[in-house]
Amino acid sequence: MATSEAPPRWLPFVILGIGLLAISFGAILARLAQGHGLPSLAIATLRLGLAALIITPLALWQSGRVLLALSGRQILLTCGAGFFLALHFATWISSLEYTSVASSTALVTTNLLWVGIASFLLFGEKPGRLMAIGIVVSLSGSLLIFWSDSQSSVAGSDPLLGNFLAIVGSWCFSAYLLIGRRLRANLPLPAYVWLAYGSASLFLLFACQASATALTGYANAAYLIALGMAVGPQLLGHTSYNWSLRHVSATFIAVVTLGEPVGSAALAWLFFGESFAFLQGIGFVLLLFGIYLAARGEGH
């Protein structure tokens, strides 16, 4: 049974930090799966499908009655959230085939800008002074990372296409966050996560069928990596964001996601030898400082 008691004020920030660490492994695992011959669309489908299957027993046990009592509007909105989540992963994972991890993650996390604009236009949410400064500083860091990366030779065979796909992924994730915030106000976390991840995986299954993308016949290592993506970045990472939607603003969560390029770039250097330039290092510092400012603003 859900409780109305608010968690300690510090808890959402800790949960988001753990989620950010888990999500930072997403690009690395996707690259490893691609290296084992798994197509990007199949990676997205397996990541969300396995996550939905894993959480099914908990969702049915804890929220079975809630799921049976869903209104038509809630079902429609949840399917909408799943649709945008499916597009987010399909476009973002595909971007990793064409551009560097640093550029891909820096661009896909610009959802802060789109969420902030949409929250103001649609819901009248005006960011405070510290939050606004944090947005500007964080976005400046993202732009600096992207500009520095575009001057290097690390990027893949078609950086322009990869960067465009990453931006489209950012737009889709912004829509997913905004829809999810409204749904999470009345839905328990297991019910919402199961519906969102499950519906997204169904959309991706249809896409696989339409594009003749096979989901079988790959190396066992590829499936183990996909399972790791489902458990780590998806269930631990994205679910922490969904839990936090009830306790902090969607704009602040979008700020936190800007820390992903820092962790992903460090891991890309460790696993793939993708070094980053001095200007990228400055960009990472700006990202972290912007997140700190936004956290102070959200706490106040």
76 CB neighbour count, 10 Å cutoff: 11
Distance (Å, rounded) from C-alpha 139 to C-alpha 86? 25
Residue 62 pLDDT:
86
Selected residue with higher pLDDT from 264 and 222: 222
In degrees and rounded to multiples of 5, residue 105 shows phi and psi of -70, -35
Residue 300 pLDDT:
55
Q: What is the pTM of this model?
A: 0.80
Distance (Å, rounded) from C-alpha 106 to C-alpha 181? 23
Q: How confident is the model at residue 1 (pLDDT cuts 50, 70, 90)?
A: very low
Q: How confident is the model at residue 138 (pLDDT cuts 50, 70, 90)?
A: confident
pLDDT at 150 over 70: no
Distance (Å, rounded) from C-alpha 200 to C-alpha 262? 27
In degrees and rounded to multiples of 5, residue 3 shows phi and psi of -115, 150
Selected residue with higher pLDDT from 43 and 102: 43
Residue 246 pLDDT:
75
70 CB neighbour count, 10 Å cutoff: 16
Average pLDDT over residues 233-262: 79
Distance (Å, rounded) from C-alpha 263 to C-alpha 195? 29
